[in-house]
Amino acid sequence: MTAGQQLRQLRERLGLSMRDVEAASLAIAKKLDNPEFQVPISRLSDIESKGILPNIFRLFSLSAIYGKDHKELCALYGVDWDALASVRSCAQVPKTHLFTALRNSLTFRLPTKVDPAFDVRRTTNIGRMIQSWGTVPASFLAQAASTGHTYAFVGTEDFTMYPIVMPGSFLQVDERDTRVIHEGWRSEYERPIYFIETREEFICAWCKLSNGELMTQPHPLSPANPRVFRHPREAEVIGRVVGIAMRLQEWQPDNSHNGKHAARLN
């Protein structure tokens, strides 16, 4: 198949009409404040059926809409960006200079091995459990850099905020927001949840700070009890929980606790 036919096949596989692509590209053009990013239906038809080459702006839009790396779309037209380093010697540049053409090939480190002491039953700060790292393309995670967030795992035996925060959940914690708020919410779902570090453990809970004492307050349906720590000597607020990821379909009641509020993960 020609490059245009492959682009058409990709579009149809995604269930997109030409009008859908045009509308999406128009939104991209407005967001980036540049009409060059728009792909009109007539131009898309020419690209798919008449072998017309998309310019760099339209290639960008198609890459974004189809969810494909620009290198993959260029490869349809015989342009192999991975060959860039091997053909560099074809240009004999007399002056010393920086070579940034492979900047997008830089990698980003991700955890590949965690501390053997990592116990899924206990709530913990994930960053402190990582022993080794692997790499992925840096451009993929560019927006995750320097966000001021840390990430945590709620232990499978930690029912402090059950059922709002299930055991086994992943948390996104904003370390820039450590101020404990005592009022202003309209329901328990709006009440701030905090990630707290004590001398012995981590706690995910509502909390109250008064007269140098930090009280962790579990959900009313939780079997956990409120706890009081001297602040900041015994407990410190790491930040406010701003994101929660839970796997609900694997959750089942645990009938071995004689009616108490408990559950288990498969």
Per-residue model confidence (pLDDT) at position 250: 57
Same domain membership, residue 229 and residue 145:
yes
Q: Is residue 49 part of a domain?
A: yes
Same domain membership, residue 244 and residue 174:
yes
What SS3 class is residue 209? strand
Contacts of 15 (CB under 8 A, 6+ apart): none
CATH of the domain at 41: 1.10.260.40
Same domain membership, residue 22 and residue 135:
no
Same domain membership, residue 112 and residue 53:
no
Same domain membership, residue 244 and residue 115:
yes
Q: Output the tens digit of pLDDT for each of the chain's 266 residues.
A: 899 999 999 999 999 999 999 999 999 999 999 999 999 999 999 999 999 999 999 999 999 999 988 889 999 999 988 787 677 778 777 765 556 565 555 444 555 465 667 676 777 776 666 655 555 454 444 445 446 788 888 888 899 999 999 988 888 899 999 999 989 999 999 999 999 999 889 999 999 999 999 999 999 999 999 999 999 999 999 999 998 887 665 555 555 444 334 444 44
Same domain membership, residue 124 and residue 73:
no
Q: Is residue 101 part of a domain?
A: no
Decide if 117 contacts 149 (C-beta within 8 A).
Answer: no
Same domain membership, residue 173 and residue 57:
no
Same domain membership, residue 246 and residue 155:
yes
Show which of 42, 67, 82 is a domain's final residue.
82
Same domain membership, residue 158 and residue 69:
no
Q: What whole-number distance in Å separates Cα of residue 239 and Cα of residue 148?
A: 10
Same domain membership, residue 73 and residue 121:
no
Same domain membership, residue 112 and residue 77:
no
**How many Cα atoms within 13 Å fall on the side-chain side of residue 195?**
28
What SS3 class is residue 81? helix
Q: Is residue 8 part of a domain?
A: yes
Per-residue model confidence (pLDDT) at position 251: 54
Per-residue model confidence (pLDDT) at position 252: 58
Single-letter residue type at 180: V
Q: How many domains does the chain have?
A: 2
Q: Is residue 95 part of a domain?
A: no
Give residue 119's domain range.
108-265
Per-residue model confidence (pLDDT) at position 239: 94
pTM above 0.75, yes or no: no
